[in-house]
Structure 1
C-alpha cells in the first residue's frame, strides 16, 4: 500500500478520491488552503463512510504559494493533484484564472519531483479537450485538445494551459515523476457537503423548479465515484504512465434528456424538471444579458460527445450507467436540502 497525497481533499472530486484511497488501504495526506476547513473535511469523509481512525493526515498548503508543498509531498509515493485555484467571483480576464491554475500545477510537480514521487495523476477536464472546435459527428478522444485561440471561457482555457504546462514540465524538466491525467466530463453523484459543482447545480435547479425550460446543449456526465476509481487506476497501473484518460459514462445527453431521466426515475419528486427546451435563438439572446447563461453561451447548440473507450480498454475502468448516477445525484441533493431545512 502507498502513501498518497491528494491536493484539495475538501473539494467534491478530492473528497471522493480520499475515500477511495482509504477504502483501498492506502495512507492518505491531503491539503486544504485554510486549516479551519479540516473539521468540515473530516465530517464530509465520515459521511462518506471513512472510519474515525482512518490513516489520514490533513496539512495546509496553498497553490498560489510555495510554502508547505515540500512538507506536503515528503515521503509520498504518488500524488493525485485534484485541486485548482478558485475565484470568489467570475474572472474579469483570462489571466485571473489561467495563471494561478498553471502555476499551481507546476508548483506541485516541482515539489513532487524534488521529493522523489513516483507518479502524479492530474485532474484535468473535458474543458481541455472538447472546446473551441467546429461541430463534428464523432466523439472527442484524448488526442483532441481545446483550441484556446477560439475564444473559449477562462475556465476551459485555464484547464487546457495548465495541463499542457504539466506535460511540458515532465518532458523537459520533470526528472522523475510519471504523469497521467484524468479528464472528466460533467461530474455528478452523491454529495457530501453543500459545495456544488456547476454540473450538480444543474441537477439541483431541475429538481427545485428554478430551471423552467431546458437549455439547448449536450454534455457527457460521469459519477464522481467512478472518477475517483479512475484516478486510482491511473495511479497504480503501469499502462497509465504518460497517458490522458477521458472519464465519461456513455454518450452525451441533451439537458432535456437529463430532465426526462429524472422525471422517470424520481416521479413526483422531480415533477418540476423541465419538459420543454428553450429555442436556440432565445437562449443565445438571453445569454447576452443573463450572467448565469453568459458562461454557457459557447455551449449553446453544441453536442460535446466524448468517449472513455481508452480508459476502459487500457485500465479496465467500467463507469456505472449514467441514468443511475443522475437518479442518485438528485436523491442526494433532495436529502441534503431536507436536512438543511429540518
Structure 2
C-alpha cells in the first residue's frame, strides 16, 4: 500500500493527508480540479518542511466527469476518496445537491474496481451515523435515518453516498475493499487559508454574526487526527468493510467555545457575544425556519459518541482534545485573516 491516490488534494483534509503520507514515505498522486492547484499544494508543503515532496505527482480530474479517473488510478494500490462536491446556494430540489455526491462517489469506486485497486478509504461524515439516535452510546453500528427532520442536505448527501458505496462494494462482481471514516465537526490548524465548512461556526462567533449563543453541544476533532485515522485505515489489513468514527473525547458546547475564545484568545474575541439564545426561541423557530430546524436537531441529537473502535483496532491516539482542536482552528482564522 505504498502507492496511493488522494482525491481532492487542495482541500483542508486532503492536504493534511498528503502531508502525513509523504512524511511516512508514500508515493502519492493527487487529483486537482484546476491548474493552479499544483502550485498551491507544493507551496503549502514546502512551507511546512514536508519530506519526500519529489514523491508527489498530480493529475487533473473532477468528480463531475469520467475524464482521467482510470489514468489517476494507474499503478496505485489504494485510494483515499476525500473530495466531495460542494454547493454554496441551497438548491430548490434537494436531489440537485445529493446527485453530485452520489455520482462522484460511484465514479471513484467504479474506476477503482476497474483499475484493480485493493482498498478505498472513503471520507464519509458523522451525519451518516449519529443524527437519529436519541440516547445511549453512538457507535459505528448506527445509521442516520435519511428522513430525519432537520437533517441538512449536506449531511443527507453524505449519508446516501455512503449507503451507495456499501451497496456497490457488496456486489458479487466487485473486488474492492472499502473502509469509511466518519468525522464529526473538523477543526484544528489549517495548512493554508482553505478551511472546512465546520469553521463557519467559528467565523459566525468571531464576526459577531452569532449575536446570541445557542445551548448547542458539539463533537469535534482535529484535522490531523482525521488524517491519521484515514492512513491507519489504509494500512491495517483486517479492517476491510469497517466504519470508524473520528472524534476527540467528549463534547464541547457553543457556549463553552465562546468562553474558551474569550479566555484564551482575547485578541480575537472582541465581537464574541456573551448573550445566550433561549432554547424556546430555537424550538419556535424550527416550526418555520429550515436553519432553526437543523439547529434543533443538532441540539437534541445524542452527543455521547464513542471513538473506542479507532483506538482499539487502529491503535489511534488523538493528538488534540476538543479545546485544542477549537483553538487550533481559531489560530488559523487569525493567521489567514
2:289 and 2:254 mapped to 1: Cα distance? 18
Select the residue among 141, 153, 156 that pairs with 1:143: 141
Task: From the superposition, tell whether residues 107 and 289 of structure 1 become closer, same or farther in structure 2 (CA, over 3 Å).
Answer: same
Task: From the superposition, tell whether residues 278 and 174 of structure 1 become closer, same or farther in structure 2 (CA, over 3 Å).
Answer: farther
Task: From the superposition, tell whether residues 175 and 196 of structure 1 become closer, same or farther in structure 2 (CA, over 3 Å).
Answer: same
2:290 and 2:47 mapped to 1: Cα distance? 34
2:246 and 2:65 mapped to 1: Cα distance? 30
Task: From the superposition, tell whether residues 46 and 200 of structure 1 become closer, same or farther in structure 2 (CA, over 3 Å).
Answer: farther
Q: Write out per-residue CA displacement over residues 42-77 of structure 1, whole angstroms, 9 at most, x where no aligned residue.
A: 333334433584311121111121111000111101
TM-score, L = length of structure 1: 0.90
Matched, 1:2 2:11: no
Equivalences for 1:9-48 in 2 at 5 Å?
9-48=9-48
2:98 and 2:293 mapped to 1: Cα distance? 19
Match of 1:117 in 2: 117
Equivalences for 1:96-111 in 2 at 5 Å?
96-111=96-111
1:221 and 1:4 mapped to 2: Cα distance? 27
1:318 and 1:195 mapped to 2: Cα distance? 26
1:229 and 1:81 mapped to 2: Cα distance? 15
2:256 and 2:173 mapped to 1: Cα distance? 44
RMSD: 2.2
Match of 1:255 in 2: 254
Task: From the superposition, tell whether residues 88 and 202 of structure 1 become closer, same or farther in structure 2 (CA, over 3 Å).
Answer: closer
Equivalences for 1:187-226 in 2 at 5 Å?
187-226=186-225
Q: Write out per-residue CA displacement over residues 219-268 of structure 1, whole angstroms, 9 at most, x where no aligned residue.
A: 20000000000000000012321100000001122211222222332244
Matched, 1:239 2:238: yes
Q: Tell me, what secondary structure is at the counterpart of 1:66?
A: coil
Task: Report if aligned partners of 1:256, 1:274 keep a CA contact under 8 Å in 2.
Answer: no
Task: From the superposition, tell whether residues 42 and 297 of structure 1 become closer, same or farther in structure 2 (CA, over 3 Å).
Answer: farther
1:39 and 1:292 mapped to 2: Cα distance? 37
2:177 and 2:156 mapped to 1: Cα distance? 24
2:189 and 2:164 mapped to 1: Cα distance? 32
1:49 and 1:255 mapped to 2: Cα distance? 34
Task: Report if aligned partners of 1:97, 1:154 keep a CA contact under 8 Å in 2.
Answer: yes
1:48 and 1:235 mapped to 2: Cα distance? 24
Q: Tell me, what secondary structure is at the counterpart of 1:196?
A: coil
Structure 1 stretches of 5 or more lacking a match? 338-342
Match of 1:130 in 2: 130
2:245 and 2:53 mapped to 1: Cα distance? 34
Structure 2 stretches of 5 or more lacking a match? none
2:173 and 2:88 mapped to 1: Cα distance? 32
- The alpha-carbon deviation at position 33 of structure 1 amounts to 2.1
Task: Report if aligned partners of 1:81, 1:121 keep a CA contact under 8 Å in 2.
Answer: yes
Task: Report if aligned partners of 1:121, 1:182 keep a CA contact under 8 Å in 2.
Answer: yes
Match of 1:340 in 2: none
Q: Write out per-residue CA displacement over residues 283-308 of structure 1, whole angstroms, 9 at most, x where no aligned residue.
A: 34456777865654532444533111
Q: Tell me, what secondary structure is at the counterpart of 1:148?
A: coil
Count of aligned pairs: 335
